[in-house]
């Protein structure tokens, strides 16, 4: 132990415990905050800044998965019906 609590006055021991707990809470909160926070990245060639959330990263990963699955011939693409394209799709 760096600090022997038994040798400290009671109020100081409490202070140490409080400080350590607060630090742990901060670490915990920042971890979850960071993982949920959208991360900025510059799009190559455009200079535009896009915001990537975890959900988007997951979507990107899925896109890679689907390309791999198709290359392996596990699944195939068959034209589907009932969809809208262009500006209609954004509404």
Partner 1 sequence: MTQPIPAAAVSGAAPAIQCTLCPRGCTMAEYERGRCKVRVNKGGQLYTLVYGKPCAVHIDPIEKKPFFHFLPATAILSIATAGCCLECKYCQNWEISQAWPEETINQDLSPEAVVKGAVASRCRSIAYTYTEPTIFYEYMYDTSVLARRMGLRNVSVTCGYINPEPLRELCQVLDAANVDLKGFTDEFYVVNCGGRLQPVMDCILTMKKLGVHVEITNLVVPTKNDNMDLIRQMCAWVVQNTGADTPLHFSRFSPDYRLRQLPPTPIETLVKARDIALAEGLRYVYVGNVPGEDYENTICPGCKKPVIRRMGYRVVDFEIDRETSQCLYCHYKIAGVWK
Residues forming the site for partner 1 (CB under 8 A): 38, 43, 48, 50-53, 55-56, 59, 62-63, 65-67, 69, 74-86, 88-90
CB of 27 to partner 1, least distance (A): 24
Whole-angstrom distance, CA of residue 10 vs CA of residue 8: 6
CB of 37 to partner 1, least distance (A): 11
Using the minimum distance from each CB to partner 1, give the nearer residue, 12 or 58.
58
CB of 63 to partner 1, least distance (A): 4
| Cβ-based neighbour number of residue 13 at 10 Å | 15
Whole-angstrom distance, CA of residue 56 vs CA of residue 51: 9
Compute the Cα dihedral for 78, 82, 88, 91 and give only its sign: negative
Using the minimum distance from each CB to partner 1, give the nearer residue, 7 or 84.
84
């Amino acid at each position: 132990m760096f600090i022997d609590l038994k040798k400290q006055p009671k109020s100081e021991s409490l202070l140490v415990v409080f400080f350590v707990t607060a630090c742990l809470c901060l670490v915990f909160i920042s971890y979850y905050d960071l993982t949920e926070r959208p991360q900025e990245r510059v799009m190559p060639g455009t200079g535009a800044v896009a915001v990537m959330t975890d959900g988007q990263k997951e979507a990107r990963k899925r896109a890679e998965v689907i390309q791999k699955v198709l290359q392996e011939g596990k699944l195939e693409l068959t034209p589907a019906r009932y969809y809208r394209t262009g500006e209609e799709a954004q509404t």
